[in-house]
C-alpha cells in the first residue's frame, strides 16, 4: 500500500504579546503496522522483560523476516545499560539476526519467500553520501539507521532482533547460505563483520603476526579469520583458562596479559593488534607489543575512555586506528567466505527468558563464545 506522508505542526501562542513563540514540525510517514513481540529493557539497566510492539508492514522494497536466531553482542549490554549515552527506551536490542523470509514487497528482486536472510547492525542509511556510494554505509555521513534504539526514516523508533520478526529494506538484508548451522551464523552479522573488515582493510594475512586482545565474541571471530587468512596469531587474554580454546580456534600463541614477564618477552613482536576489549583498560599496556610501524585497531568500545600516552606511538612510529562493523557488500562477502570455508561462531544457544543471566555472564567473560537466542522459545 502507498505511504501517506503527513506533516504534524504544533503552534504555541503567547496570547498577551500575540507572538508565535514556538513552531515545531515533525514529518512522519503513516503506514499500516503489524503486531510484533520480543524482549525489551524498559529503562536503562533494568532487566529485560516481555514486550509487545508494532513494526511497519512490509513496503514495496521490504522483506519481512521471521527471526530464528539472534546473537547477544556486548554492544546490546552497553546500550541496554545506556553506557554510551543516548539510548532509547523501551529498547529491544539485538543486531545479529538470522531468519526466514516470510513476505516480500512488490518491488523486491533479491529475495523470495522461504529464503534464509540476515540482518546486522544497521537497516538503512542516506544512500547518497560518499560513504554510502562507496558501499561503506556504516560510515554514512548522516549516520546509518541502526537496527535498534534509533529513529528510522518514518520517524519510528527501531526495535532489534530480540523479537519474533523484523521488516527491512532488501538492500540492507543479507543472503545466508543454508549450508551452515544458522545459530552459528547469527553472530557473523556483527562479531564476524566487525573483525573481518579491519583484517581486509589492513590486508592482514600471510607473513603477518596478528595479536587479538580479548577472547570474547569479537575476539574469537578475529582469531578464526586471521588464522584463515594465513596470519600467525597470538591471543592476548586476561583469562588463563581460555588457552586451550584459543589453540582449538587455531591461535599459534597465547599470552596472559596480567603476567608482566610474558608481556615483556613479546615486546615488538606483532605487526597488528585487534583490540576487542569491552571494559576499562589501558592502550599503553598493549602498544609495546607492536613492531616499528605496527598498528593497533580498536574495535572494542569501553564506556570509559582508556588513556593513551604519546611515547609508545612516537618511539616506534606506531599507529592506533579504529574500525566499525562493515558495509553491506563487505558483509555479504564475509558471509559467502564463511559458507565456502565452513566458518561459524562458537555459540551457546539459550532460550529468550535466559537473557538477563546471559548479560551477567557476558560481563564476567563467562561465555564460550557467543550466546545466541533461539527465537522459537519467545
Ligand atoms: P565480549 O564477548 O564480552 O568480549 C570482550 C572480551 O574482552 C572478554 O571476553 C575479555 O576477554 C576481554 N575483557 C573484558 N574485560 C576486560 C578488561 N577489564 N581488561 C582486559 N580485557 C577484558 O564482548 P564482544 O561482544 O566481543 O564486544 C567487545 C567490544 O566490542 C564491546 O565493547 C562492543 O560494544 C564492541 N563492539 C564494537 C563494534 C564495532 O563496530 N567496532 C561492533 C560490535 C561490538 P579475555 O577473557 O580473553 O580477557
Ligand atoms: Zn554487535
Ligand atoms: Zn550515507
pLDDT above 90: residue 301: yes
- Residue 299 Cβ contacting ligand 1 at under 6 Å: yes
pLDDT above 50: residue 285: yes
- Report the atom number in ligand 1 closest to the C-alpha of 302: 32
- The rounded Å distance from CA 148 to ligand 2 centre is 11
- Residue 99 Cβ contacting ligand 1 at under 6 Å: no
Taking residues 346-373, what's their average pLDDT? 97
- The 3-state DSSP class for residue 261 equals helix
The per-residue pLDDT of the chain, averaged, comes to: 93
CATH superfamily of this structure's domain 191-322: NAD(P)-binding Rossmann-like Domain (3.40.50.720)
State which of 74, 140, 241 you would mutate to test the pocket of ligand 1, scoring each by most atoms of that ligand within 8 A of its C-beta: 74
pLDDT above 70: residue 16: no
Q: Where in the chain is the domain with CATH 3.40.50.720?
A: 191-322
Q: What is the pLDDT of residue 27?
A: 54
- Residue 321 Cβ contacting ligand 1 at under 6 Å: no
Please write the tens of the pLDDT for every residue from 125-181.
999 999 999 999 999 999 999 999 999 999 999 999 999 999 999 999 999 999 999
pLDDT above 60: residue 9: no
- The rounded Å distance from CA 55 to ligand 1 centre is 31
Q: Does residue 148 contact residue 158 with C-beta atoms inside 8 Å?
A: yes
Q: Does residue 344 contact residue 178 with C-beta atoms inside 8 Å?
A: no
Fold designation for 33-190+329-377: Quinone Oxidoreductase; Chain A, domain 1 (3.90.180)
Q: Does residue 242 contact residue 235 with C-beta atoms inside 8 Å?
A: yes
pTM check: above 0.75: yes
305 pLDDT band, cuts 50/70/90, is confident
Query: CA–CA separation, 185 vs 366, rounded Å?
Result: 20
- Residue 216 Cβ contacting ligand 1 at under 6 Å: yes
pLDDT above 90: residue 116: yes
Q: What is the pLDDT of residue 10?
A: 31
Q: What is the DSSP letter of 337?
A: H
Q: Where in the chain is the domain with CATH 3.90.180.10?
A: 33-190+329-377
Please write the tens of the pLDDT for every residue from 194-236.
999 999 999 999 999 999 999 999 999 999 999 999 999 999 9
Query: Grid coordinates standing for 254?
Result: 597465547
Query: CA–CA separation, 68 vs 39, rounded Å?
Result: 15
Amino acid at each position: 500500500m502507498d505511504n501517506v506522508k503527513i506533516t504534524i505542526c504544533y503552534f504555541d501562542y503567547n496570547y498577551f504579546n500575540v507572538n508565535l513563540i514556538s513552531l515545531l514540525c515533525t514529518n512522519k510517514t503513516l503506514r499500516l503496522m503489524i503486531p510484533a513481540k520480543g524482549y525489551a529493557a524498559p529503562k536503562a539497566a533494568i532487566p529485560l522483560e516481555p514486550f509487545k510492539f508494532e513494526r511497519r508492514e512490509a513496503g514495496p522494497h521490504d522483506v519481512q523476516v521471521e527471526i530464528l536466531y539472534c546473537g547477544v553482542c556486548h554492544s546490546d549490554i552497553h546500550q541496554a545499560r545506556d553506557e554510551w549515552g543516548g539510548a532509547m527506551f523501551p529498547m529491544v536490542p539485538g543486531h545479529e539476526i538470522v531468519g526466514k523470509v516470510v513476505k516480500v514487497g512488490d518491488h523486491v528482486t533479491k529475495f523470495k519467500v522461504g529464503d534464509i536472510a540476515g540482518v546486522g547492525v544497521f537497516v538503512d542509511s542516506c544512500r547518497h553520501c560518499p560513504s554510502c556510494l562507496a558501499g561503506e554505509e556504516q560510515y554514512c555521513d548522516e549516520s546509518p539507521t541502526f537496527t535498534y534504539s534509533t529513529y528510522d526514516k518514518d520517524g519510528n523508533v527501531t526495535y532489534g532482533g530480540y523479537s519474533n520478526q523484523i521488516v527491512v529494506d532488501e538492500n540492507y538484508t543479507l543472503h545466508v547460505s543454508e549450508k551452515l548451522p544458522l545459530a552459528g551464523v547469527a553472530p557473523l552479522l556483527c562479531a564476524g563483520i566487525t573483525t573481518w573488515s579491519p583484517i581486509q582493510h589492513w590486508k592482514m594475512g600471510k607473513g603477518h603476526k596478528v595479536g587479538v586482545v580479548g577472547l570474547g565474541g569479537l575476539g574469537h571471530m578475529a582469531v578464526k579469520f586471521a588464522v584463515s587468512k594465513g596470519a600467525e596469531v597470538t591471543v592476548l587474554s586476561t583469562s588463563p583458562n581460555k588457552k586451550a580454546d584459543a589453540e582449538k580456534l587455531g591461535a599459534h600463541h597465547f599470552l596472559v596479559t596480567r603476567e608482566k614477564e610474558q608481556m615483556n618477552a613479546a615486546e615488538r613482536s606483532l605487526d597488528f593488534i585487534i583490540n576487542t576489549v569491552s571494559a576499562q583498560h589501558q592502550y599503553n599496556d598493549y602498544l609495546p607489543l607492536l613492531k616499528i610501524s605496527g598498528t593497533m585497531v580498536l574495535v572494542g568500545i569501553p564506556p570509559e575512555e582508556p588513556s593513551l600516552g604519546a611515547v609508545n606511538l612516537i618511539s616506534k612510529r606506531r599507529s592506533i586506528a579504529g574500525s566499525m562493523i562493515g558495509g553491506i557488500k563487505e558483509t555479504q562477502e564475509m558471509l559467502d567466505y564463511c559458507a565456502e570455508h565452513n566458518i561459524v561462531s562458537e555459540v551457546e544457544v539459550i532460550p529468550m527468558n535466559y537473557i538477563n543471566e546471559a548479560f551477567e555472564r557476558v560481563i564476567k567473560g563467562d561465555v564460550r563464545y557467543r550466546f545466541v537466542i533461539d527465537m522459537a522459545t519467545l
